[in-house]
Structure 1
């Protein structure tokens, strides 16, 4: 009897492995949700917690005194019920798709939401703040939440979780949660290249090293707070952003900006490998650079018809408040960029596919 049960387990694992091998999220952005949920259950994934900038902020900035908000149309025009939430896109973010694939919720809630429900606490929340970065100065310049404050709110989240289900269950949820961290763009575009403080202190390469060290320190703090599974999203090719191309008066991607984006990602990955070894954490990496580069260069492969400009306004300079009330393209799903900086919901879905693939290979192997 015991031998039969053991054989069944082996067969089940083999079937699961074959099924998962068939998942190809990078090609289409599509994810076989049932297969992912089987895997999540197998590895007891409990919830998703999110740290970062506008790429993963579902609306925390709505509740703080900052001009960096996206809680007005046309942002959110393709979201559920067609209303803006604070997400800097026409619809959902990659983290929303990740949480849905894992079986928890189809939209991650902002932790600062005044009407956060117990079920939201259990499924996971986002602490991210648009315009934030690895450098604390980046967030302070924009009056948004630096990573240190996001981690402070995470401590508060743990307390609320303990009050809800007890200390032992709460620690188990945190231990088996998947944390996502996505930022870095603002450190360069809204800090180093606009403000005089950091360029006087660091060369570009020194600043990259500084940011990578900040990220490493954040990972250590997360580990000390009980996080054991982490997915870090690299920075995209900044030179392909419509805004950057406009400012640099180029029609094609600005090679200089892409080169330092790629260089910075290499430094991030080195630090993450050190963290895997020294902390014993399971850490996945999402190659946002490669995904965007492929989408821009091979648009038709993903069903895009426009990769050079955004869907909002002229698509060349508008983002944030300058996008407010602007007309948009007819079908955002055919565009890589929603505004001159941020991706469309469709592009976020493709990024989520790679993130889930990273979860499968690097966190649940």
Structure 2
């Protein structure tokens, strides 16, 4: 008997070639319809925020050039990259939209409600304090907006159909970087309360609690993205005065990801959810160590400004490299659109392998 998990991964596996070299979009759309993948809902930080922070009182915004210079019509949207995010590529491959809209968008359309939106907020994290430090949306608030989204979906299609759409959706959760870079290693509060390992355990427990909340709200399919190789970020290398990746930061990234995966194993067994894990750490390490494999050239610095320290406001109005598609990093922290495309493709492949195993 073919399980729903296998059916889902067969549909998602077909997306992989599109993101790494080309596939008939019609084929992917037909698969999405056939296997009843209804929509994509997104939670997280700047890695998946398409512009929710534009609508809240925070300085953590990316709604100005050169952010978005390679987006459709070359306009900034609030995405912290030169173009689209990994979740945009996934949604396009499934046949829904080329760009997922932020839930707080003032002109959210019925089609957006039907096929999925992002609740993510740049600078957020698993730790509520991380979001509060930057006055952005903590995961608890993102889940409140998800409840509101469900109510709007019910008004649009009725209660029964709305529950079915949520049940057959794919939820994406991507955060954790800011808990370390914007919180633990910058602010004094958490280091006084926790050792680094204790804080990692605390974050993993927070993630687990939020996954339980998602399950209670009807989510049955979840993709969790691990933290990337933080030591390879240009900003971290600059601050640590190193030319190569800072292994201290990479080691705790890897350690934290292991703790996340243990919690996800428990959630699979106790909640009965279908959960995939994306090894963002491994993807970044491979791209930095083997750039030619992905058609990349520059791995040590970002495309914006000097590429060593600029991100967010300090990237505003800066000159950029000639071809961002050859760079791993757009600014000193965030990936380029090309890197997000690579992440999307490999993430889907990882999901297929894990659920088929």
Question: Is it true that 1:135 corresponds to 2:127 in the alignment?
Answer: yes
Confirm or deny: 8 A CA contact 1:73 1:324 kept in the other structure: yes
Give 1:85's match in structure 2, choosing from 77, 102, 110: 77
1:6 corresponds in structure 2 to none
Please state whether the residue corresponding to 1:308 is helix, strand or coil: strand
1:150 corresponds in structure 2 to 142
Confirm or deny: 8 A CA contact 1:25 1:357 kept in the other structure: no
5+ residue gaps in structure 2? none
2:192 corresponds in structure 1 to 200
Structure 2 counterparts to residues 276-287 of structure 1, below 5 A: 276-287=268-279
Question: Is it true that 1:297 corresponds to 2:289 in the alignment?
Answer: yes
Give 2:60's match in structure 1, choosing from 61, 68, 80: 68
Question: Is it true that 1:167 corresponds to 2:146 in the alignment?
Answer: no
Q: How many Å separate the matches in 2 of 1:136 and 1:128?
A: 14
Change (3 A) 1:163 1:220: same
What are the superposed Cα offsets for residues 98-120 of structure 1, whole Å, 9 maximum, x if unpaired? 10111110100000001000011
1:53 corresponds in structure 2 to 45
Give 2:20's match in structure 1, choosing from 10, 19, 29: 29
Q: How many Å apart are 1:245 and its aligned residue?
A: 0.1
Q: How many Å separate the matches in 2 of 1:31 and 1:46?
A: 23
CA RMSD across the alignment: 2.2
Question: Is it true that 1:190 corresponds to 2:182 in the alignment?
Answer: yes
Confirm or deny: 8 A CA contact 1:135 1:211 kept in the other structure: yes
1:219 corresponds in structure 2 to 211
Taking structure 2 as the reference length, the TM-score comes to 0.94
Structure 2 counterparts to residues 182-331 of structure 1, below 5 A: 182-331=174-323
Confirm or deny: 8 A CA contact 1:128 1:150 kept in the other structure: yes
Confirm or deny: 8 A CA contact 2:14 2:28 kept in the other structure: no
Give 1:345's match in structure 2, choosing from 326, 337, 342: 337
Taking structure 1 as the reference length, the TM-score comes to 0.92
Please state whether the residue corresponding to 2:179 is helix, strand or coil: helix
2:104 corresponds in structure 1 to 112
Q: How many Å separate the matches in 1 of 2:283 and 2:139?
A: 25
State the aligned residue count: 351
Change (3 A) 1:45 1:113: same
Q: How many Å apart are 1:162 and its aligned residue?
A: 0.2
Q: How many Å separate the matches in 2 of 1:212 and 1:304?
A: 33
Confirm or deny: 8 A CA contact 1:50 1:126 kept in the other structure: yes
Larger radius of gyration: 1
Change (3 A) 1:22 1:93: closer
Change (3 A) 1:293 1:181: same
Greater Cα offset, 29-38 or 212-221:
29-38
Q: How many Å separate the matches in 2 of 1:211 and 1:161?
A: 31
Q: How many Å separate the matches in 1 of 2:94 and 2:16?
A: 16
1:335 corresponds in structure 2 to 327
Change (3 A) 1:295 1:102: same
Q: How many Å apart are 1:354 and its aligned residue?
A: 1.8
Q: How many Å separate the matches in 2 of 1:182 and 1:36?
A: 24
